[in-house]
Structure 1
Amino acid sequence: MGRQMTEMLKGTLEGIVLAILAGRSAYGYEITAWLREQGFADIAEGTVYALLVRIEQRGLVDVEKVPSEKGPPRKVYTLNGEGRDYLDEFWRTWSFLTERLEQLQHQEHQEGIQ
């Protein structure tokens, strides 16, 4: 993954993780595995765990410790109402930005044709 992709991903990973949790509760490794399956192969587990700690501290998720067959209990994260509101704002912001970027790209393309 190139530097530009890494920087853009840093700015959106929180929203991506919240969107995953909007679909279902999950623990850190599950989230990391899903991201890798979706093509985000270079995301380190530590990055996801640090993000989960931050969103937990900000009150965007509820956490339940669930017994694990291997080792200590797992922390399972569930999006709560505050997290849902934050995710809704993330999607509004994402839509605004993508619309503007598409306009800019279209404008650049049109100017290149003339």
Structure 2
Amino acid sequence: MELRGDLEHDGNWLGFYWTSHARGHLEVYPTIMVGVGDWSEGAAPESRLIFGVEFNKEAESFRLLDLASHGDKSVAVYLDRLDVLDTPFAQDAFAMTDAVFMKDSRMEEWHS
């Protein structure tokens, strides 16, 4: 099952997200992918970033994914864990992930 949405703060668009999970198959970790940056038409791929996390329900925790070797580099820069961890962007990245997880009511199965 896939969910999509936008991330906003105080009426300003921050980015977008999409999720992927196999309903009823909690052994497959669900993922949240987030796109941030300039996604306007004609924007350079270097101005667009994508990062992702997977959710381990048993541990009740998220793990950043290594995405640099995935995706279409002509569209965006795909980030690895180390591109996010211990950087000024990390706090924002985790806040966005938390907001998606906590505020998107369509993710109820992830919480139960």
TM-score normalised over the length of structure 2:
0.28
- Normalized per residue, the structure richer in helix is 1
- Normalized per residue, the structure richer in strand is 2
Which structure has the higher relative contact order (CA within 8 Å, separation 6+)?
Answer: 1
TM-score normalised over the length of structure 1:
0.27
Q: Radius of gyration: which is bigger?
A: 1
